[in-house]
Structures are given as C-alpha cells and as structure tokens.
Amino acid sequence: MFVFHPDGTMQQANPEAGDPNTSDSDGMGVWVADGGTIKGKFFEVTADRVTRQFVSRGEISFVIKVEGNAFSGTASAIFYDADGKQVRSPLPATLKGQRVLLPQQFLL
C-alpha cells in the first residue's frame, strides 16, 4: 500500500508475511508529479526475523501513471548492507493498484 501526502512525502507498507526470513514492512520516501506520471523513491530497513538484527537498507525508485482510481508503473530496488556495500543488484518490479475508497454509506 502506498500513501501519498500532499507535501511530497509518502509511506509504503508490505504485508508482513511477504518474506518468511526478513521483515521489511514499512518504507518512507518522497514523490513528485511530473506531467502525467508520479516519480519517487522510498527507503526501507530489513531485519532478520529471528535475531531482529539489521540485514539491509533498500532504496526503491518508482514511476507510476495514475488513471482515475488506478495506477500502473515500474520500480527498481537496490539493497545495501550495514557497511553501505550493494548486496543485491537492481531488482525490477511491475506496479499495479487502485485507490482505496470509502464505501458510499460512510461518505457525508
């Protein structure tokens, strides 16, 4: 889930069960509108589920296009260890989602 704030900051959350070995459930970053697209980058810290020790820092860049209540785009993630050494190459991802809306009965 992505949450875009009007001040150009954003938050990202993964489902906790996404990876059985490490936890990377929150990311925080920035975004900017560029014509018909949104470009941004967020950071997340990954920890070992057993030892609770730091594993890596992820930097995820993305470009999405919003059409109505849906978006699609691409992302690229790079991960670094505690010494800042790159440990995983750029990992590509395809993004696709839709806006979370309140049911009609909750609207005033």
pLDDT for res 30: 98
What is the secondary structure of the chain as a DSSP string? -EEE-TTSEEEEE--GGG-SSEE--EEEEEEEEETTEEEEEEEEEEEETTT--EEEEEEEEEEEEEETTEEEEEEEEEEE-TTS-EEEEEEEEEEEEE-----GGG--
Bridge partners of residue 42, in order along the sequence = 29, 60
Mean pLDDT across the stretch 33-58? 90
Mean pLDDT across the stretch 90-95? 94
pTM for the structure as a whole: 0.83
29 pLDDT above the threshold of 70: yes
pLDDT for res 106: 76
